[in-house]
Structure 1
């Protein structure tokens, strides 16, 4: 009796253990936060270089805690929302330059991708006082250098609040919705030049430079908002599609002492141009401004004297395709400057004097500088991130300003990202790889040596050890004469003697990268889920993607959707020849640009792909915005064939396989118009397909149960059209034929 009982318990324990190590990832777990990683929020290096601040969430609110770099111990709590009247919590914070005041963001609401409105408070750490900046929700509040004033945007105008007197001064007066915007970018600048605040304080805080957008003649786009009311409403905003009228931009400088605004006039005549960046130099009277032609293949860097109104063109870059705009311009004490450029075929760091004469090229080689972290004037060293350890990896390096004594600071191969202390004594490194969840460590900036571990995700790794997961395998595949980066996820019980359906994912947009040695995204867990269901999942970065040199990236110029699609089709054909892949069951999917690609791949590659899913796809570049589209395609008026020959709308007649089309009606980026026009084309071509519309959802298609519903929809479509269900039907029919025979 006792022996039997012991045996039963042992069997139960082994069974439970085996079961625990073979749990399957569910769709619900992917979207309910089960696999969420620990991270460090709103990290700010304090001016003393020895401490950093972090936004921490505590019961009942939020607080800003100060930590010592060397010990990692918390040394102080600067401010707690629970101690402040009228503030339940704050979602972000910004210090004044002298760190005596903190701007706290509350009740923040999203406008578009990067723009927000919110109520902001200034907390004075010395006086222990809190001041509301404005009764209304405002945009982009920014301290003056001395911390005594705040400039901000409200109702398309600029305002300056004096924190000492409490008085607010309006400095522009012609702002009007869908007409004039002062100091805040329009929709297309925000989306494609990646910034919202289009105003800057000078070094002494007596001048503000700002860009004015006159979007009066920009065509409007409207979106129905269905909401919960009896009648729908509309969102109407200015959206310049390819070839259409852009905002008329101008650069202005406001003098606070004179209460006067002056427009900047340049010697060079520009028409139909962009001002993608403005930045004051260390000289309080010298403003830098980058001007770019509409084709975006010419970029001029101007130095403008705010007192004399004279301007000097110090740098002019040209490219046969386009010139990338970055945030890397850095002025040194003597007003020489750091600049990054692809002019030698790879993105590298350059040092110029204040008049634009090249002093030296700091970095060089067949690899890319992927992030510029800064310059330490004491040691004369530059810190940067690069692909020197392989295009799918990121490592941190330092190098002398003269380009000598380069040193690798990170030790692990994967994706490293650094946040340096203000004096460059330390850096906090975030590291992850396909097999290592994110970990945060404190490192010495001189040697890169580990000082201390700050935070890891060992609990997540332990949790995942109980799940049946597969390793992401990295490799290259030679397609159309190029070695393309690829990752593969196979079922955990993969058997090369069996055949599996193949499901391909890609994005493929210019300069993008999906094959990267980093930790799982939510989609990676979905791919693991699909692998558990018996699929092989593959991702290939084709021509046009980034971090393999300018020639590789820019080969798709004027032909978006041609070479990238050819690469996906050819890669699928090669993979289909593998003995363990069912060449009759190959699917592909993508979102946004990836949806454009998956649609084209299914239509043009109808003898290769049997199904595709397109989420929020561009279906014709004629429908997309001017800055992004024309950067790669010029205008439809100049390049009609490039637009139309690669538009999936014009290839619907080739559809043979199963097609699922998904879009949100509130997508301000890739408008649902793209899907509607595709649907109409499919109907008129008498092609059957499936589609799903998510009411009022934007380009991200999320909120509540939306993401879970979306991925259930896609997963079921894959099962029905690519997976075991289809194979079972085939086997059943074959068996039926045998029986009848």
Structure 2
């Protein structure tokens, strides 16, 4: 009775506001502009002083989001004015000195210095140039910043500014030319080169000086004057030529002596693609410049150290590092190539991440990556010890996982920290450079997904999924004892922003059926979170009883456990159809307990369940959240284990719920579209209908960074591409296939759909159709496009999977 009354009250409330209840769900209803659903806050940022927290929000359903703010003492959101926004200093944008008594930041291209205790602010620069990267150096006595690719130092006491580097575009200037710039006597350099003179001129000059005393005296006097002038001039700042290279990652150590920088010579000759845009304001077709394809060459990078005191520059050499001449394991499948590479014994091409200097400036931690991304070397560099290995992580597949890029730093002058996947899961480690000892701070069959060192450097704040692969919780980890204390209490996921003084936690929290809302709590164990916002679900959205998908474990044929979201139909009975939703990206997690970024698909899955379908959304091999082996399970064979996981899950549905094996379909976009094609072509006995949205049909047409990690390069590992590209298997199509693709997709190009279309035509297949969307990119924008696409998908499943019912 109470449930009936609540439903009646809700329906009455909606009717009084001129709205109709959401049920029954239709494609037209759920694919509207998402504003109808409600508004979630996003982009949390504490102010540098910790007095306020700002975020983007749209509670009034305006055209665009606006900025709102709260404070720890007043949790009512207030809209931020333009003046307040212009003066706001985000905590992540500031850099503190070692004592945390002062910080620096940049605003509108100028540098500012702030004393924490007094709040006094000083503007360091006021120029038309853009200054950036402000930080403390020279033992905290100066602020160093970048302007026009060069470093400058502002002395805190005197207020004077001096230039520290002299990077110059073009070739290195000669010594004579550099001297001339400083005011050498006119014409002196042009006439003084005895080496360039003929023998006759040299003899004549010598004879003149020997025979004419006045000429000799004048020469001696001039040389003495020039020497005195040169000695009186300030020492010229060393010019460092960039030549045709790109300058990156310039950083200075804490003492102000050493400056590191990376020079990259860009690759040449790489051909880029275009995407035709047919619907334009002018009525003429235009070409959108796009990307290169997998197999293109990379630029060559070098890391240099500039010693300001010794006035020397030297390049960090990597030739002698262990593993620099290793040959990738996959080459064993190509005997001729293997023999060539053994004979050549070449040093591998590497790239560098920006070095991280220790707090005392004595050591730099250098992150070196092989160009094939199968090795990461963390090295320490000191002036007297050159490069020494901290940690080498090798993966025959590719280096990846949480924290593998940029999650590293120093606890003190002796101990650095980093993340590594060497145990099969990404965990947190420390390394002591004096003892050479590596210590694991975390371990187990879970991932450390984020790590942040505390202000006092005695603890870490880490986000992990140790409770369940489908949860994200924040912990405080004490370094000395390795004890962990859970700080976020609610089931689901919490995306936490810690206040600058570490007394408050602001976080976005969601669960499987509730989008993100803002919470605030004290940074204490068992503290009660206070909800700040309550607009993520509109009244209309709440009017429907959304299903809380059950997170289940499904055994794969090889004994591994596949996690999945299961939606069950009402009045379930044997012989009902089933549909798989296949998430995109590959390396992404969707069988979790928080709000999915696939919210449209979540609603569509509810619609399918309402219409008598089981719906299964699995985290197949290659998905995120389950460690290294799961992540790399698709190496050299996309469409292998990731597809067999779906086949195994189909058998599980048939066995456990009596699903009709002849009535199973699947749909998904991007990587999900790719898996749909592989399922329809290679497992026609399992899947009777499939909707492939913006799918990759030939991996040799995709980009380099993503594809080369998984399949290597097509001209070196053609086996992997032949096994992994759907268009080679199009002849296996037996069920009904729908392909949908945006025609201005600059990620997976429309060309992929066109190529597969021609292949299907040549094969004489007639059980497929292509729906093209002339004004859509990879991620659809227009509600009309979403609606058309999902009406076609629903129509396909209703026609094929319910045939004969």
| Structure 2 match to 1:514 | 590
Could you report, residue by residue, the CA deviation over 1:385-428 in whole angstroms, capped at 9, with x for unpaired residues?
11211111112222221453222222222112322223433322
| Structure 2 match to 1:116 | none
The aligned runs of 1:271-282 (5 Å cut-off) are 271-276=348-353, 278-282=355-359
Partner of 1:51, secondary structure, is coil
C-alpha contact 1:283 1:335 (8 A) present in aligned 2: no
Could you report, residue by residue, the CA deviation over 1:65-123 in whole angstroms, capped at 9, with x for unpaired residues?
87543655799x9x953589xx899999944645565535xxxxxxxxxxxxxxx6778
Q: Tell me: CA distance 1:182–1:64, structure 2 relative to 1, closer, same or farther (3 Å).
A: farther
| Structure 1 match to 2:330 | none
Work out the CA distance in 1 between the residues paired with 2:721 and 2:258.
44
| Structure 1 match to 2:726 | 648
| Structure 1 match to 2:82 | 81
Work out the CA distance in 2 between the residues paired with 1:92 and 1:660.
49
C-alpha contact 1:362 1:403 (8 A) present in aligned 2: no
Give the deviation of 1:19 after TM superposition. 6.4
TM-score (norm 1): 0.77
Could you report, residue by residue, the CA deviation over 1:152-183 in whole angstroms, capped at 9, with x for unpaired residues?
78xxxx466899999999845259xxx96625
The aligned runs of 1:216-365 (5 Å cut-off) are 216-217=267-268, 219-226=270-277, 227-229=280-282, 231-236=284-289, 239=292, 241-242=294-295, 244-253=296-305, 263-266=315-318, 268=320, 270-276=347-353, 278-284=355-361, 286-305=363-382, 310-324=386-400, 325-354=404-433, 357-365=436-444
Give the deviation of 1:34 after TM superposition. 1.6
C-alpha contact 2:110 2:126 (8 A) present in aligned 1: yes
Q: Whose helix proportion is higher, 1 or 2? A: 2
Larger radius of gyration: 2
C-alpha contact 1:61 1:82 (8 A) present in aligned 2: no
| Structure 2 match to 1:421 | 499
Task: Give 5+ residue unaligned stretches, structure 1.
Answer: 1-8, 105-119, 185-197, 732-741
The aligned runs of 1:550-629 (5 Å cut-off) are 550-576=628-654, 581-629=659-707
Q: CA RMSD in A?
A: 4.4
Q: Tell me: CA distance 1:271–1:134, structure 2 relative to 1, closer, same or farther (3 Å).
A: farther
C-alpha contact 2:576 2:660 (8 A) present in aligned 1: yes
Give the deviation of 1:359 after TM superposition. 4.1
Could you report, residue by residue, the CA deviation over 1:400-457 in whole angstroms, capped at 9, with x for unpaired residues?
214532222222221123222234333223322113433333333342512x525233
Q: Identify the range of structure 1 (202-211 vs 708-717) with the bigger mean alpha-carbon deviation.
A: 202-211
| Structure 2 match to 1:69 | 72
Give the deviation of 1:336 after TM superposition. 0.9
The aligned runs of 1:20-35 (5 Å cut-off) are 20=21, 22=23, 24=25, 26-27=28-29, 30-35=32-37
Give the deviation of 1:202 after TM superposition. 4.4
The aligned runs of 1:305-704 (5 Å cut-off) are 305=382, 310-324=386-400, 325-354=404-433, 357-377=436-456, 380-450=458-528, 453-457=530-534, 460=537, 463-480=540-557, 481-491=559-569, 494-497=570-573, 500-507=576-583, 511-521=587-597, 522-523=599-600, 524-576=602-654, 581-688=659-766, 689-695=768-774, 697-702=776-781
| Structure 2 match to 1:716 | 791
| Structure 2 match to 1:738 | none
Work out the CA distance in 1 between the residues paired with 2:616 and 2:10.
38
Matched, 1:211 2:280: no
Work out the CA distance in 2 between the residues paired with 1:573 and 1:99.
60
Work out the CA distance in 1 between the residues paired with 2:617 and 2:39.
23
C-alpha contact 2:638 2:723 (8 A) present in aligned 1: no
C-alpha contact 2:293 2:701 (8 A) present in aligned 1: no
Could you report, residue by residue, the CA deviation over 1:533-553 in whole angstroms, capped at 9, with x for unpaired residues?
554322011233233333333
C-alpha contact 1:218 1:247 (8 A) present in aligned 2: no
Work out the CA distance in 2 between the residues paired with 1:653 and 1:123.
65
1:103 to 103, 107, 111: 107
Task: Give 5+ residue unaligned stretches, structure 2.
Answer: 1-7, 97-101, 115-119, 172-242, 325-346
Partner of 1:687, secondary structure, is coil
Work out the CA distance in 1 between the residues paired with 2:649 and 2:707.
26
1:173 to 156, 161, 169: 169
Partner of 1:438, secondary structure, is strand
Partner of 2:676, secondary structure, is helix
The aligned length equals 668
Work out the CA distance in 1 between the residues paired with 2:127 and 2:38.
35
Q: Tell me: CA distance 1:667–1:182, structure 2 relative to 1, closer, same or farther (3 Å).
A: farther
Q: Tell me: CA distance 1:358–1:695, structure 2 relative to 1, closer, same or farther (3 Å).
A: farther
Give the deviation of 1:563 after TM superposition. 0.9
Partner of 1:366, secondary structure, is coil
Q: Tell me: CA distance 1:454–1:94, structure 2 relative to 1, closer, same or farther (3 Å).
A: farther
Give the deviation of 1:701 after TM superposition. 3.7
Q: Tell me: CA distance 1:660–1:83, structure 2 relative to 1, closer, same or farther (3 Å).
A: same
Work out the CA distance in 2 between the residues paired with 1:100 and 1:62.
29
Work out the CA distance in 2 between the residues paired with 1:251 and 1:388.
38
Work out the CA distance in 2 between the residues paired with 1:442 and 1:485.
31
Q: Tell me: CA distance 1:602–1:382, structure 2 relative to 1, closer, same or farther (3 Å).
A: same
C-alpha contact 1:121 1:131 (8 A) present in aligned 2: yes
Work out the CA distance in 2 between the residues paired with 1:463 and 1:502.
28
1:182 to 229, 239, 246: 246
Partner of 1:566, secondary structure, is helix
Q: Identify the range of structure 1 (557-566 vs 578-587) with the bigger mean alpha-carbon deviation.
A: 578-587
Q: Tell me: CA distance 1:624–1:713, structure 2 relative to 1, closer, same or farther (3 Å).
A: same
Q: Tell me: CA distance 1:369–1:592, structure 2 relative to 1, closer, same or farther (3 Å).
A: same
C-alpha contact 2:37 2:538 (8 A) present in aligned 1: no
Partner of 2:35, secondary structure, is coil
Work out the CA distance in 2 between the residues paired with 1:11 and 1:216.
63
Q: Identify the range of structure 1 (520-529 vs 382-391) with the bigger mean alpha-carbon deviation.
A: 520-529
Q: Tell me: CA distance 1:356–1:503, structure 2 relative to 1, closer, same or farther (3 Å).
A: farther
Could you report, residue by residue, the CA deviation over 1:590-645 in whole angstroms, capped at 9, with x for unpaired residues?
22222221110111111221222223322233223333333233333443222202
C-alpha contact 1:508 1:564 (8 A) present in aligned 2: no
The aligned runs of 1:20-169 (5 Å cut-off) are 20=21, 22=23, 24=25, 26-27=28-29, 30-44=32-46, 46=48, 50-54=50-54, 68-69=71-72, 72=75, 81-82=82-83, 94-95=93-94, 97=96, 98=102, 101-103=105-107, 141-145=132-136, 151=146, 158=149
